[in-house]
């Protein structure tokens, strides 16, 4: 049995980006651990979900444990930072937010958990955090440094396959299956959204685990309501859009010494 630690910026990031990978790892008998840099206190709650006076950070923390159950994760931990908010907001400058954390200090906090778990694989985000969110970029920086401090054998940088997404959108447009509420007129995502396929080294095929992934999303009810476009997708489109997860492994181990959890899950793109 191996161990995979998955490091994320906010509650629900684990569902969207790597839920299939984690559910597949747990089903295969590996230990899965979730670590969150923040409790997502600057998220926008679904109207009517919170009780009067209920702090969003408390609700989102609880939702992480429900998500963990859906994915089969054995442990949930939080680093002591607050949500930095979207890029360019004044909240980016708060001295106690994750974006302002000293990378070395935050990495040492994460390394405590890594030393305890001795993971075979650590998942973080790519160097742009997938789409430029400050906390996601910081997950990359802190996670990469923590892996160095703790000697983690494999670091898999979760990313968005920009070319794959464009091919999928083109196919949906041509077939007339664009989900309700989607903007079919836009053919190009923002320039900082995802990575070109040529830079992506590995994928995880998790189509058989999309129900666990969807259940994990539903657990984050304060952020992802039942009418959210991701949950409202028809099953085949959801499976196509979320059933494959992509990673960049900058220095993959040789097959002879690669951890089982890595070789079982992470398939080379080329």
CB 218 within 8 A of CB 224: yes
| pLDDT score, position 128 | 96
User: CATH code at 137?
Assistant: 3.40.50.10320
Question: Mean pLDDT, to the nearest integer, of 55-75?
Answer: 98
Is the alpha carbon torsion for 182, 187, 188, 193 positive or negative?
A: positive
Length of the chain: 270
Residue 77 — pLDDT band, cuts 50, 70, 90?
Answer: very high
| pLDDT score, position 22 | 98
d(CA 262, CA 153): 10
| Beta strand residue intervals within the chain, DSSP E | 3-8, 31-38, 75-81, 121-125, 154-159, 202-205, 244-248, 267-268
78 pLDDT exceeds 80?
A: yes
Residues 246-262: pLDDT tens digits?
999 999 999 999 999 99
190 pLDDT exceeds 80?
A: no
Residue whose C-alpha is closest to residue 33's, from 60, 62, 59, 71: 71
Residue 178 — pLDDT band, cuts 50, 70, 90?
Answer: low
Least confident of 115-129, 177-191, 200-214: 177-191
Mean pLDDT across the chain, nearest whole number?
93
Residue 177 — pLDDT band, cuts 50, 70, 90?
Answer: low
| pLDDT score, position 152 | 98
| pLDDT score, position 183 | 57
Residue whose C-alpha is closest to residue 158's, from 4, 1, 3, 2: 4
Comparing 152 with 180, which gets the higher pLDDT?
152
| Domain encompassing residue 25 | 3-268
d(CA 198, CA 131): 17
The total domain count for the chain is 1
Question: Mean pLDDT, to the nearest integer, of 183-197?
Answer: 75
Q: Which helix (H) or strand (E) holds 215?
A: helix 210-219
Residues 9-59: pLDDT tens digits?
999 999 999 999 999 999 999 999 999 999 999 999 999 999 999 999 999
d(CA 246, CA 84): 25
| pLDDT score, position 49 | 95
Question: Mean pLDDT, to the nearest integer, of 164-176?
Answer: 74
Q: DSSP letter at 197?
A: G
Residue 167 — pLDDT band, cuts 50, 70, 90?
Answer: confident
CA distances to 20, 76, 121, 206, 221 from 114, rounded to whole Å, are 22, 13, 10, 25, 29
pLDDT over 90 for what percent of the chain? 84
Residue 64, token pair as written in the block: 């992480």
């Amino acid at each position: 049995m191996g161990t995979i630690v998955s490091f994320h910026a906010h509650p629900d990031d684990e569902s969207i980006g790597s839920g299939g990978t984690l559910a597949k790892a747990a089903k295969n008998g590996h230990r899965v651990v979730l670590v969150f840099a923040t409790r997502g206190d600057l998220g926008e709650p679904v109207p009517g979900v919170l009780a009067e006076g209920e702090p969003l950070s408390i609700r989102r923390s609880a939702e992480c444990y429900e998500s963990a159950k859906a994915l089969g994760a054995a442990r949930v931990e939080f680093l002591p930072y607050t949500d930095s908010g979207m890029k360019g907001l004044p909240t980016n400058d708060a001295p106690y937010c994750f974006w302002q954390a000293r990378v070395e200090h935050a990495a040492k906090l994460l390394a405590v958990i890594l030393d305890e778990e001795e993971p075979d694989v650590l998942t973080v985000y790519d160097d742009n955090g997938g789409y430029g969110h400050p906390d996601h970029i910081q997950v990359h920086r802190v996670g990469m440094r923590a892996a160095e401090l703790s000697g983690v054998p494999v670091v898999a940088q979760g990313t968005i396959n920009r070319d794959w997404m464009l091919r999928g959108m083109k196919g949906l447009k041509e077939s007339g299956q664009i989900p309700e509420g989607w903007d079919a007129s836009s053919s190009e995502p923002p320039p900082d959204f995802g990575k070109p396929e040529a830079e992506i080294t590995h994928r995880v095929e998790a189509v058989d685990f999309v129900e666990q992934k969807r259940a994990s999303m539903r657990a984050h009810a304060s952020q992802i309501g039942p009418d959210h476009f991701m949950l409202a997708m028809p099953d085949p489109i959801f499976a196509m859009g979320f059933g494959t997860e992509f990673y960049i492994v900058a220095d993959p181990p040789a097959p002879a010494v690669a951890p089982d959890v890595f070789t079982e899950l992470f398939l080379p793109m080329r």
